[in-house]
Amino acid sequence: MQMNGIAHISIVVSNFEKCSSFYRQLFKFLEMKLIYDSNDVIYGVGSRTGIVIKEAASEFLHETFEQNRIGLHHFCFRARSKEDVDALHEFLQGIDTKIIRSPKLGEWAKGYYSILFEDPDGIRIEANYVPGKGNLDPSVDLPIHPENI
């Protein structure tokens, strides 16, 4: 059985006010529709992608995100072009987002072009563009470097 992608990703944040503001702006820029909006949960959907932002339980509000702890490391949007990655970079700079890595070519697939940034809780988000079939192209033999995943 083959899946049809990931239906949604649910992210728990410690600073819901800051994070929901950030994600509302990001959803709007990415043309994602806000389909659920409450005092502790927002849910954006678009481009066959769903993202839920939820406030952490009160006993965990003092904790911070650690990328190498068990759980989420980062998530990645798939862009339709290099220009889209560049436009996202410009947008993120305009809303004072912490950029970890500006757009550049990477070694994950031929033509892999990506940006890496953080939400206000420090959760890392990537957006990439890969031309053609990328790593699904059977004629491409690329070394994967686990230390960079």
- Amino acid 35 reads I
Is-contact 23 121, C-beta < 8 A?
Answer: no
Give pLDDT tens digits for 32-49.
Answer: 999 999 999 999 999 899
Q: Are residues 47 and 107 in the same domain?
A: no
Give pLDDT tens digits for 77-100.
Answer: 999 999 999 999 999 999 999 999
Give pLDDT tens digits for 101-140.
Answer: 999 998 888 889 999 999 999 999 999 999 876 666 656 6
**Closest to 74 in 3D by CA, of 9, 131, 134, 4:** 9
Question: Could you tell me if residue 71 is inside a domain?
Answer: no
Q: Are residues 29 and 89 in the same domain?
A: no
- Which pLDDT value is given to residue 95? 97
Domain assignment of residue 37, given as a range: 1-57
**Closest to 67 in 3D by CA, of 126, 147, 124:** 124
Q: Are residues 94 and 42 in the same domain?
A: no
Is it the case that residue 142 has pLDDT exceeding 80? no
- Which pLDDT value is given to residue 149? 52
Question: Could you tell me if residue 20 is inside a domain?
Answer: yes
Q: Are residues 48 and 97 in the same domain?
A: no
pLDDT category of residue 50 using cuts at 50, 70 and 90: very high
- Which pLDDT value is given to residue 137? 61
